[in-house]
Amino acid sequence: MKHRIVILGAGYAGATAAGRLAKRLHRDDVEITLVNADPDFVERVRLHQLAAGQDLPVRSLRKMFAGTGVEVRIAWVDSVDADRKTVELIGEQGAETLAYDTLVYALGSTVADFGAPGVVEHAHQVASKQAALRLRERLNQLRADETVLIVGGGLTSIEIATEIAEARPDLKVAVAARGGVGDWLDEKAQSHLRGAFERFGITVHEQADVTRVAEDGVATRSGAKILAQMTVWTAGFDVHPIAAASTLTVSATGRIVVDATQRSVSHPDVYAIGDAAHAAGVGGKTLRMGCATASPMAWLGADAIAARLAGREVPNAPIGYNSQCISLGRRDAILQKVTKEDQPTSKVDVGRKAARMKELICSIAAWCVRHPTLLAPSRRRRVETGAAASVETV
C-alpha cells in the first residue's frame, strides 16, 4: 500500500509542504492529500488590502496542484485522533473519516480575543478572507468623519490602520494599544512610522489596555472610553483548539510542540508547521507566528518527512529571521532588518524603496505557493521498503 500523507491546511505552510513533498517523493509510493476549507489559496499577508477595498487574484487550489499527484480535498477539519491516526472532516459529501500514515498539521491561526467581552459581537478582524470581506462591507457603510478604531499595536494593526486611512481619507482612523505602537522597531523605523501616522491623520492611544468592546467603541482598564462607529480587533492571534483537544502534546497556547525537524514530540507520525507549531529557532527562542516562519517550517518539515521515508539523513537546521516588512499603505513601508534571533538592528529601509521590497517579498511568497513543485530539489526519493531505497532522478 502507498504511504498516506495527509496535510491539514493550505496556507503558506501547508501548500508549500504539499508541493515540496510531491517533488521529493515518488507518487508510486505515496498518496498526498491536502485538506482545506477554502477552495482557493488565500494570501493572508494581503488581507488588509482586501479589507480596505482592493481585489486580490483568485487562485484555485485544485488548479495549482493539477498534475502534481496531490489530491485537494475541500473540507473543514472537525477533529484529529492522533492515536488512531485518523482525521474527522466535514466536506462536500458530508462527514467523513480520513486515515493517515503521516500527518502534517498546518491549520494556522485565528484571532485571539483574550477573553475581552464584546469582541465577537461587535469587533471586526482580518484573520481570514471571510472576516476581511465582512470588514470591507462594513467599511463601505461608514459615512465621512465616522471613526474606525484599530485595537492592537503590532504588525497587523499598523498595516490595516494605514491601509484604511489611505483608502478612506474621509474617515477618522485611530489605534489603541496596550503598550506602544511599533515600539519594538529601531529608532529610525519608529520615527518613520510616527511620520506616516501623522501624514494619514491617524490618532494613537498608547498604554490603552482595551478590556471591553461595545457597539459604539471600547472601554479601557483605566476606565476611559474610546468612541468609534467601527472597531477592528488585531490584538493578537490564537490557534484553533483542535490540537489541544487531541492527545498531542501542546504548549500553554495550544500549539503543537515539535522538535528540530517539525516532528511532534509525542507522536512521531505527526508534523506541525506554520502558526500551529511551537518550535524553537536560532538561539532557542520560540518562533513567532507569521509567513516569515511558515515557509521555512514547511521546507524543513517536508524534507524531514521525505528523508525519513527514504532512509536518508534528516535535516534539522534551526530557522532564523532576516527582516520584518511593514506596509504603510500602497506607496510607503518599513523594512526592518533583524538578527537571526528576530532582534531589530539599525539597518532600516523606509519609503517607496521599502514599499517595492515589501511588494516583491509578498509576490515571491505567493509565486512559491502557486508553483509548489518548482523550487524543491529535483530528486524524487523512493520510500524505503527494505534494507535500501532506490533513488530516481527526474
Report residue 342's pLDDT band, with 50, 70 and 90 as the boundaries: very high
18-27, 110-119, 134-143, 382-391, range with greatest mean pLDDT: 134-143
Number of C-beta neighbours around residue 177 at 10 A: 24
pLDDT > 50? residue 385: no
Report residue 376's pLDDT band, with 50, 70 and 90 as the boundaries: low
pLDDT > 90? residue 340: yes
CA dihedral 366, 369, 373, 379 (to 10 degrees): 90
**Cβ–Cβ under 8 Å, residues 56 and 23:** no
* Average model confidence (pLDDT) across the chain: 92
pLDDT > 50? residue 6: yes
Q: What is the pLDDT of residue 386?
A: 36
The CATH number given to 114-235+321-371 is: 3.50.50.60
Residue 292 or residue 101, greater confidence: 101
CATH 3.50.50.60 in the chain, residue ranges:
3-111+237-320, 114-235+321-371
Report residue 62's pLDDT band, with 50, 70 and 90 as the boundaries: very high
Q: What is the pLDDT of residue 390?
A: 27
pLDDT > 50? residue 82: yes
**Cβ–Cβ under 8 Å, residues 290 and 123:** no
Q: What is the pLDDT of residues 242-267, one digit of tens each?
A: 999 999 999 999 999 999 999 999 99
- Single-letter amino acid, residue 62: R
Q: What is the pLDDT of residue 377?
A: 52
Half-sphere exposure of 165 (CA within 13 A, CB side): 26
Q: What is the pLDDT of residue 365?
A: 85
pLDDT > 50? residue 142: yes
- Tell me the average pLDDT across 276-302: 93
Q: Read off the pTM.
A: 0.92
Report residue 381's pLDDT band, with 50, 70 and 90 as the boundaries: low
pLDDT > 60? residue 364: yes
The third-level CATH classification (topology) of the domain covering 3-111+237-320 is FAD/NAD(P)-binding domain (3.50.50)
Q: What is the pLDDT of residues 197-245, one digit of tens each?
A: 999 999 999 999 999 999 999 999 999 999 999 999 999 899 999 999 9
**Cβ–Cβ under 8 Å, residues 247 and 82:** yes
Residue 390 or residue 291, greater confidence: 291
% of the chain with per-residue pLDDT over 90: 87
pLDDT > 90? residue 370: no
Q: What is the pLDDT of residue 83?
A: 97
Q: What is the pLDDT of residue 392?
A: 27
Max CA pair span of the chain: 73
| 3-state secondary structure at position 299 | helix
| 3-state secondary structure at position 156 | helix
